[in-house]
A and B are shown apart, each in its own frame.
Chain A
Amino acid sequence: MLEYAYLTRVLPHRHPILQVDRVLEYTPNQRIVAVKAVTGTEPCFAGLADGLPHSSFAYPSSLLVESLGQAGAALWVLSARDGGTVLDGTLMFGAARGFEFHGSAYPGDVLRHEVVVESLKENSAVMRGETRVDGRLIAVVASMLAIARPEAAVAGSVNP
C-alpha cells in the first residue's frame, strides 16, 4: 500500500488537484488499484446555492477523469522507476477515447480506480480503466494516453 505522502514523490500534482489518496494494489507494467475519497470540503463544492437537489453535488466528471488519469500516471511512473528509468519531462494528459459515465459519486463516497496497461513506452503510456463506488460502476475508459513532454516545449507556449 502506498500512502499520500509517497504519492507526492511519484506524481507532480499537488494540493488541491492531486486526486489520488492511496494506492491499494500495484503490479509493475500491468495494473494499479487506487482510491480517492470525495468530501464536501473540496473546492469544487464551494459556492453552491442553498436548496439544491442531491444531483447538484455530483463530483465533477472532469475531476473524475483527472483522478482516474492520475491513477494511471502513478502506474506509469512507478513502473518506470521499478524498471530503473525516470520519465523525462512534464507529465501530460495526451488523449482519451470512450470515457463513459454510468453513475455519479457524492461527498462521502470513495472512488476505487483500477487501471490496466495496454502499452508502456519511454515517452508515452496507453491504459484503460474503470471507477467504482462500493462496487457500483461509475465510469469506464476504453483508452487513455499519457505523455511526457520536454519542459522547454511546454514553457514555450505562452503568448507574450
Chain B
Amino acid sequence: MTRNYAVPLDAVDRVELTTAGATVTKRIVADDPYIEGHYPGFPIYPGVFTVETVYQASRGLVESRREPGTRVTLAEVRSVRFKAPLRPGDELTAECELRDDPDDISRVLVVAECRRKDGATVAKVTLDLRVHEAGDHA
C-alpha cells in the first residue's frame, strides 16, 4: 500500500466515527516498524507512536471533511501524559474528540483518551492541528 505522506508506521487499524470524533484502534505487533530497536528483546510501543495513532486518525478525518486537496499538519502537541506502556499483543483504543476552533478555521483541537484492552489508561493526548487549504504547501 502506498502512502501520501511520511509516517514511521501505519498507526491506525480501524476508525469508527462518533458524535465527538472517532474511536480509533491499533493492535500492537512485535514486527511494527521501528519496534525492533525499542527495545531489543523487550519490545514496547513507543509513546510517540500513540501520538502518531491519534494524529493519523484525526488528520484523515479532517482531510476527508474539508475541501479536496486540504492537508493537515501537526501544529503543537499541547500536552501528552503517558500512564501505562503498550506491548505486543496489547490493543490501543483512542477515544478522539475533535473541536473546530470557532475563531480560526485553520485550527482543530484534538483531545484523546487512550486505553488498553484491559481498560488501563495508556495516555492522554491533546493536539493542535493546522489545516492547509489546497495548493498551500507551507
Residues of A participating in the B interface, judged by any CB pair closer than 8 Å: 12-18, 43-45, 47-49, 52-63, 65-66, 69, 90, 92-101, 104, 149, 151, 154-155, 157-159
Tell yes or no: B85 within 8 A of A by CB: yes
Q: In the bound complex, what is the Cα–Cα distance between A49 and B40 (angstroms)?
A: 31
Number of interface residues of B (CB under 8 A): 50
- Given known contacts A61-B55, A158-B90, is B46 in contact with A17 (CB within 8 Å)? yes
Specify which of A44, A61, A96 is in contact with B74 (CB 8 Å cutoff).
Answer: A61
Q: Does B14 contact A (CB under 8 A)?
A: no
Contact of A13 with B117 in the complex, beta carbons under 8 Å: no
Instruction: Chain B residues near A14: list those with CB within 8 A.
Output: 36-40
| Contact surface of B with A, Cβ cutoff 8 Å | 1-8, 33-40, 42, 44, 46-49, 51-52, 55, 71, 73-82, 84-91, 116-118, 120, 137-138
Contacts of B1 in A (CB 8 A): 47
Cα A143 to Cα B27 with chains together (Å): 30
User: Within the assembled complex, what's the spacing in Å between the Cα atoms of A17 and B5?
Assistant: 19
Contact A12/B39 with A48-B2, A60-B7 known, Cβ cut-off 8 Å: yes
Check A158–B89 contact: CB distance below 8 A: yes
Q: Quick one: closest B residue to A102, CB to CB?
A: B75
Known: A92-B82, A100-B75. A62 touches B89 (CB 8 A): no
Question: What residue in chain B is nearest A143 (Cβ atoms)?
Answer: B79
The 3 closest A-B pairs by CB, nearest first: A14-B37, A99-B77, A49-B2
Cβ contact within 8 Å between B5 and A93: no
Residues of B within 8 A of A54 (CB): 137
Provide the residues of chain A in CB contact with B5, threshold 8 Å.
48, 52, 55-58
Contact A157 B51, CB 8 Å, known A54-B137, A97-B79: no
